[in-house]
Amino acid sequence: MTIFITGCAGFIGAHLTKKLLENSHRIIGIDNLNDYYSVELKKARLKDLIGENKNFIFKKADICDKKSLDEIFSKNRLDLVIHLAAQAGVRYSLVNPYVYEKTNILGTLNILEAVRHNRPKPKLIFASSSSVYGESKQIPFKENDPCNKPASFYGATKKTGEMMVRAYHNLYGIKSCCLRFFTVYGPWGRPDMAYYFFTKKILKGEVIELFQNDTQRDFTYVDDIVEAICRLVKKEFKFEIINLGNSRPERLDKFVGILEKCIGKKAKIKIKQLPPGDIKATYADISKAKKLLNWQPKINIEKGLKEFVNWYKKEDFKI
């Protein structure tokens, strides 16, 4: 298959692109390499992908640039579009909401328009987030739960993206699937994620801030996410929304304890109140993913964090 991937230099994007190349697919990938976090880390992810692999074509481009997208779509017959590019981060959306509106809404609209006018129309996989569940009190989160109480503007833009995808499916028959990712972690991860900067601070002997010990997150290892997407690539679908999580939430105090064992050093901890936009717990019901994809996560938090810490100690991207 010829697959177009947005955000291919991102955390999930790089892992997914590598796996799909190993499966002999032709990949056209774009990324704008913005400086939300280390550009060098993004370039390092790309380095392994580009190499001598003739099935990988990379173009530095922004999904907000409609002209660049139209050029790519007009010159290539695409079987599938995997739209991963987005402005990530709940807390940053409190500081700079306009970049979320531009990237996550306008950028997604540009992708949808490009898919709509491509002949034949490729299938579309859209990366959504557990943040769409917002202040939902129903635990675990199920795909048919109401998602009309966003806790963050980031979550609101991701829910908007899902609604746009559904509308384009209804209007133009685009075969689409929205994947709700739950706190993805692992090697080559994002430096703004808790597990990453906790590791950095523990190794340096600096204080880490925990937002209430009983806060829980459904941490999902990146290889499990990639495996689910690869299974979806082979499937036929019309319109679906699917949770992809570990379905085993971990309290943050236990999470830090596991991280301490992996690092071999105790953390200095300061407890703080949960900041605006964050929610108390995330917990994925993955029964739909099990049924449709015959998938369930294999990597527990102990093994996953050990893999990350081993990678972190070997690499120079301690940002």
The set of catalytic residues is 154
Q: In Å, what is the CA distance from 265 to each residue of 186, 198, 212?
A: 20, 12, 21
Structure-token pair, residue 311: 């990678």
Whole-angstrom distance between the N-terminal and C-terminal Cα of the chain? 36
Yes or no: say if 249 and 214 are a contact pair by the CB < 8 Å rule: no
Residue owning tokens 């909401």: 97
SS3 of the chain: the string is: CEEEEECCCCHHHHHHHHHHHHCCCEEEEEECCCCCCCHHHHHHHHHHHHCCCCCEEEEECCCCCHHHHHHHHHHCCCCEEEECCCCCCCCHHHHCHHHHHHHHHHHHHHHHHHHHHCCCCCEEEEEEEHHHHCCCCCCCECCCCCCCCCCCHHHHHHHHHHHHHHHHHHHHCCCEEEEEECCEECCCCCCCCHHHHHHHHHHHCCEEEEECCCCEECCEEHHHHHHHHHHHHCCCCCEEEEEECCCCCEEHHHHHHHHHHHHCCCCEEEEECCCCCCCCECCECCHHHHHHHCCCCCCCHHHHHHHHHHHHHHCCCCC
